Amino acid sequence: MCTVTYLPKSNNEYILTSSRDEATARPSAVLPKEYSIDGKIIIFPKDPVGGGSWIAYSESRTACLLNGAFKKHKHNPPYKKSRGLVLLDYFSFADLNTFTSNYNFSKIEPFTLVIIEPLGLFELRWDGAQTFIEKLDSNKPLIWSSSTLYSDEIISKRKTWFSSWLNSNPKYSTEGIRSFHTLGGEGDKENDFLMNRNNLLLTISLTSVVKKTSGIEMVYEDLTNKSSIIIALTPA
């Protein structure tokens, strides 16, 4: 779960988009639908292997996962549970502060969570030993790239590509940022936003959570199976 962009709009609206880079041998995700977690309705695509997800939203919160924390780490199983399940566990708590104060992160592989909730936009990183929480400026566009797949040099390049796109696209739209996620880069298949590493590891899906004044919806496209869906949260 490897490239994420955040675009702020007026009236607390936003577009959060995630490109999922994954091994082609991994089974396709289940299309997004509504699930009930501790009495809360959550919408997310489900990973059939771990049972979790890399992006999910409720009526008031959105969470998105990237593998790795600050730098590439050594894979050292066994781990207690999938990081995709940790993302879903977050929704069982009242907010990020309650989650990090009460959750047991030990024996979970390092990850980064991008969280949007009523208290603001946050970044939670778990490096395998401790958590790091940073409140971000929700009025500024942001980009993340997974430290497990991209070097510091490439991550810096991707930030430059994103900045160039922002300068040329002052009016943010879901269609525009999704196009950037598929076309952004400089012709390097291994590191462009639509990446492909010898057909063994590639970008397999593109997901956007779009918050509007009228509600919130998920736009999902399975790039491998050429299937897509737009699903809005059913009002309570």
Indicate the pLDDT class of residue 221, thresholds 50, 70 and 90. Answer: very high
Q: What is the pLDDT of residues 38-82, one digit of tens each?
A: 999 999 999 998 899 999 999 999 999 999 988 888 777 788 999
Q: What is the pLDDT of residues 91-148, one digit of tens each?
A: 999 999 999 999 999 999 999 999 999 999 999 999 999 999 999 999 999 999 999 9
pLDDT value, residue 1: 64
pLDDT value, residue 206: 98
Better-predicted residue by pLDDT, 214 or 16: 16
pLDDT value, residue 236: 56
120: Cβ contacts below 8 Å, ≥ 6 apart: 135, 136, 138
Listed by start position, the domains of the chain span 3-232
Mean pLDDT of the chain: 94
234 pLDDT above the threshold of 70 = no
CATH architecture of the domain with residue range 3-232: 4-Layer Sandwich (3.60)
pLDDT value, residue 55: 98
166 pLDDT above the threshold of 60 = yes
Q: Give Dmax (Cα) for the chain.
A: 46
Tell me if 224 sits within 8 A of 194, measured CB to CB. no
Nearest to 50 by CA among 101, 98, 99, 111: 111
* Cα–Cα distance, 19 to 26 (Å, whole number): 16
